[in-house]
Chain A
Amino acid sequence: MSKVQRNPDWIIIGTILMLLSIGVLMVYSASAAFAAHKYGDPFYFAKRQFLFAALGVFFMLLVAQMNQTRFQQLAKPGLFICIALLIIVLIPGVGILRNGARSWLGIGAFSIQPSEFMKLALILYFSHLFIQPRFQLTSFRQGLLPSLAILGSVFALIMMQPDLGSGTVLVGTGMILILIAGARKKHLIELSFVGIAGFVGLVLAAPYRIARITAFIDPWKDPLGAGYQLIQSLYAMGPGGLMGLGYGMSRQKHLYLPEPHTDFIFSIIAEELGFLGAGTVILLFAILIWRGYRVAMMTTNTYHRFVAAGITSMLMIQSVINIGVVSGAFPVTGITLPFLSYGGSSLTLTLVAVGVLLNLSRIKR
């Protein structure tokens, strides 16, 4: 096999840069009122978003130039470090409690979410695991069960924070990798039943999740409680119409939609830029996903194929769930929209993941 260096996928880079630009502009528009109200500086979030985006792009390009053998070497230690971090974050006093979940490590602005790192670590580790000669995914005992055990344990750790959003993305990405890597159809069908049962169990375990489900079916039943966020999001998207109210003209960002620059940034995009603007964002994500899976198809190295597919699937699941939630297609879960939501360290990390994808796009037969 001869490896020929070539240029990375420029379409991916272009798409990412467009999404990042829209992101910085929209974070400013969405957060200006809230930032001025809370920090006395309308640019508070926009400045930070710009810095993290620039830092992220720098790391992305750096990773894109890296020696590819490094990725596989990182797989095992990465997983162990991340599991350790996930345990540490649960210790009261060490992990930082925000919005009822102990998900953060670090001090002030320089804090990270171990679950974000875990996603990437899991992709690298699963891809490494699935190409081991002794590992047979078609076998229940010697393939499927161990991988499900790892996925389940990591998910359980994340759910102890609790962070259903990250947990869902993690499990979804892991399952797609298991699917792609060749698990048996019979096993997959059986698994999907177990998955549905598990989902129902999780929902029944926490009353607030039931409320979110019923609020999703009819948000106006409890407009000030469980249905509040969805209604406020719809009140942003509806008036946006085809053309939108114009940049900066959102009304819902004025303290109606809680923290409009994070999870609900897409609602503000739909309100200010209309169906055309929001549709463009969906299109950009579709292009990115298309190019991501294309990288996975084109590469010859199975390990690289799994890594590219995993990263792409992660981005896909995260963007689909976020857009689905804010437009009322799924029940509300706290998931940020990649590249667009104000995110700090998680934005940088996502860009690092894209850097890996870009790196893999450079390999040709």
Chain B
Amino acid sequence: MGAIAALVKQRLFIVFVVAMLVFLALLGRLGYVQLIQGKWLSGKAEELWARNIPFEAKRGEILDRNGNKLAYNVSAPSVMVIPAQIKEPAKAAKRLAAILHASETKIYREMTKKQLIVRLNPEGRKISEATARQIQAMKTPGIVITEDSKRYHPDKLLAAHLLGFTGIDNQGLAGLELIYDQQLRGQRGAISFSSNARGERLPGGVEHYIPPRDGAHLQLTIDRTVQMILERELDQAMAAHHPENVLAIAMKPQTGEILGMASRPAFNPDQYRHVKPEIYNRNLPIWKTYEPGSTFKIITLSAALEEKKVSFKEGFFDPGFATVGGAHLRCWKKGGHGSQTFLQVVENSCNPGFVALGQRLGKQKLFSYIYRFGFGEKTSIDLNGEAKGILFRPDRVGPVELATTAFGQGVSVTPIQQVAAVSAAVNGGKLYRPFVAKAWLDPKDNHIISQKKPIFVRRVISEETSRQVRIALESVVAQGTGRKAFVDGYRVGGKTGTAQKVGPDGRYMTDNHIVSFIGIAPADHPEVVVYVAVDNPQGIQFGGVVAAPIVGNMIDDILRYLGVPKRTHQIEPKKDPLEPELVKVPNLIGQTPDEIQNSLSLFGLEVKGQGKKVINQVPKGGQRLKKGSTIRIYLG
């Protein structure tokens, strides 16, 4: 019994020691969890407790250069569901689904999510006021209507491709909305508080408010009125010529600021979902690449003038073709232009004349100028989807390629490249990078936060060469193929272009052209460069006939709107037997109707009001009108 008692005591002692060691180990485990893992566990626990009530930042507005709103936010109600508060989800889902025209099973699934707040995308987002009232009338706890906002475009289609559009969460999806999404979006704020497992506020929890930072307003270089002029003319062109598409760009040549950029077909950014993606994804003025045709001759001309390979007075004989490397390159005019000066070569857009200029420059020089004018690379305008175009690889350029390139065939360029290049050719020789975003404004007080300065890329030709190019372009309009772009007093200069399109088989298509016109005005100091291209117009496919008058109308309205004074000196237009002569309007103010009846033989007369004498007239005296036009007089 004694031996057993000793054994029992010994075993008892062992158990006691082991028990103490286990308690020590537990203390160690406790210390490890609380003191070593404590911080990490606290962080994870905070995540568990934290409930964020988001405060959306207001998206910045998009304004034109004068502060007109092109895109802003309007409030749109949205449905929010708080699953924890819904008593009968099946019933509530059925009623809500009926109001929202949504799938009942989907709504039920969303409603029973283990989540603090559920938004019903997309059926329950940005709904109409009427629908919102219907939902409020349900008076179901846990279904609430909240303030949300959506993008609104007061001018509908205006500048749609530039502006782009936003998605359901007001995130930029296309256009400037996408490119400048970060700044426009601002920063979402939140009220953050700790909560218990039922989403109720936790006593002693951390709570803080992070205020949202509204997005900055984006001011564009775009002028709303200029944009409207462009789009109005494009709509008319669509109606008149039924082309596949049309596009236009207006740019300030001195800075690279885009005043307007548009294309048709277009879309309403508020309803982009109803439009095919290729319509809203392709911003044609920067996306489209094609053979420029004769507008490209401005580059050849600039290079030849700068390199002093030609003077305007020098003579040239056009037999109607040029033979290069055994190939016959025909002039667009059957039989050719015969004997002419080089200024007339430009006016007539004579192909053999430009082949000669290309040959005088040589492959090296001509291509170096083409590259320097910015072709073959993106202009890096701040828009998405810009194309690069295709030039001949220098080692593949033989005499034929050199000759065709000189008059704008065999190269592929974008409209924006042409506008930037021609701007450089006429603004004194400086190439600028085109841009659309002009400034960022503080959303609180509209103060300028940052402003973009014009980006000078490089000098391409001298001031003097540029001046000569302007003269040549003005005479193209006054005397040559660009006659239909003539606007009296605005000294429009320009160049037509008619290019064959390359079909899917890689060969030129017949009777399918892109006709274009690039215009500058006024020629002594260009305020605007306007480019229009019409793709496959029905009827006559010639740039001088289809595109030139559109550009003429645009320039007329734009310069009038910008308040550019009419010039008294200009290259007078060549008399055309088919076109009525321009005649100066006499000043009629102060005269009696009888006196006028006797003296006015060249114009028609429209009389407004009652009275003895003329107190006003439209147009004013001294302006010029086509013979046979009507003058309106106001009596009083």
The residues of A with any CB-CB pair to B shorter than 8 Å are 33, 176, 179-182, 234-242, 245, 249, 251-252, 254-256, 270, 274-275, 278-279, 282-283, 285-286, 289-290, 293, 296-297, 302, 305, 309, 313, 316, 320, 323-324, 327-329
Contacts and interface: CB of A to CB of B under 8 A. Distances in A.
B449 interface: no
B545 interface: no
16 contacts: A236-B45, A237-B34, A238-B39, A239-B41, A241-B38, A254-B196, A254-B202, A255-B197, A275-B34, A282-B23, A283-B27, A286-B20, A293-B12, A297-B16, A320-B22, A329-B29
Contacts of B29: 324, 327-329
B509 interface: no
A323 B30 CA distance: 9
Interface string B1-34: 0001101110111011001101101110111011
Given A180-B11, A255-B196, A242 B4 contact: no
B34 A240 contact: yes
A181 B10 CA distance: 10
B48 interface: yes
A313 B45 contact: no
B205 interface: yes
A128 to B, nearest CB: 15
B9 to A, nearest CB: 6
Contacts of B33: 234, 237-238, 270, 327-328
Interface string B164-199: 000000000000000000000000000000101110
Contacts of B12: 180, 293, 296-297, 305, 309
B35 interface: yes
B202 A282 contact: no
Which 5 pairs from chain A and chain B are nearest by CB?
A238-B41, A254-B196, A235-B45, A255-B197, A293-B16
A290 B196 contact: no
A205 B380 CA distance: 70
Contacts of A275: 30-31, 34-35
A252 B42 CA distance: 11
Main secondary structure of the interface of B (DSSP, over half): helix
A109 B355 CA distance: 109
Contact of B38 (A181, A239, A309): A239
Nearest to B40: A238
B75 interface: no
B272 interface: no
Interface residues of B, number: 41
Given A180-B8, A302-B8, A313 B34 contact: no
A239 B49 CA distance: 12
Contacts of A327: 26, 29-30, 33
A355 B39 CA distance: 42
A182 B16 contact: no
B30 A289 contact: no
Given A251-B194, A251-B205, A329-B26, A302 B5 contact: yes
Contacts of B202: 251, 254
Contacts of B205: 251
Nearest to A320: B22
A164 to B, nearest CB: 20
A255 B29 CA distance: 25
B45 A255 contact: no
B208 interface: no
Contacts of B16: 289-290, 293, 297
A282 B41 CA distance: 22
Contact of B45 (A239, A242, A279, A328): A239
Given A249-B204, A297-B9, A320-B23, A234 B194 contact: no
Given A180-B12, A251-B194, 13 more contacts: A234-B33, A238-B39, A240-B34, A242-B34, A245-B204, A249-B203, A275-B30, A279-B31, A286-B23, A302-B5, A309-B15, A320-B22, A329-B25
B41 A270 contact: no
A29 B583 CA distance: 101
A355 B563 CA distance: 107
B44 interface: yes
A286 B28 CA distance: 14
A320 B44 CA distance: 27
A181 B37 CA distance: 42
A270 B45 CA distance: 15
A180 B10 CA distance: 8
Nearest to A235: B45
A274 B5 CA distance: 43
Nearest to A300: B5
B4 A179 contact: no
Contact of B15 (A180, A182, A320): A180
User: Which of A236, A240, A302: most chain B CB closer than 10 A?
Assistant: A240
Contact of A274 (B27, B34, B198): B34
B15 A293 contact: yes
Give the one of A182, A238, A255, A285 with max B CB within 10 A: A238
A238 B37 contact: yes
Contacts of B194: 251
A274 B204 CA distance: 16
B41 A179 contact: no
Given A176-B15, A180-B15, A181-B8, A279 B37 contact: no
Interface string B269-311: 0000000000000000000000000000000000000000000
Contacts of B198: 255
Contacts of A289: 16, 19-20, 23
A289 B9 CA distance: 16
A119 to B, nearest CB: 17
A360 B553 CA distance: 116
Interface centre among B19, B42, B202 (most CB of A within 10 A): B19
Interface in B422-441: none
A282 B26 contact: yes
A282 B25 CA distance: 10
B20 A279 contact: no
Nearest to B200: A254
Contacts of B7: 182
Nearest to B114: A224
B23 A239 contact: no
Given A242-B34, A327-B26, A33 B13 contact: no
A235 B48 contact: yes
Contacts of A323: 26, 30
Contacts of A179: 11, 15
Contacts of B34: 237-238, 240-242, 270, 274-275, 278
B30 A237 contact: yes
A240 to B, nearest CB: 5
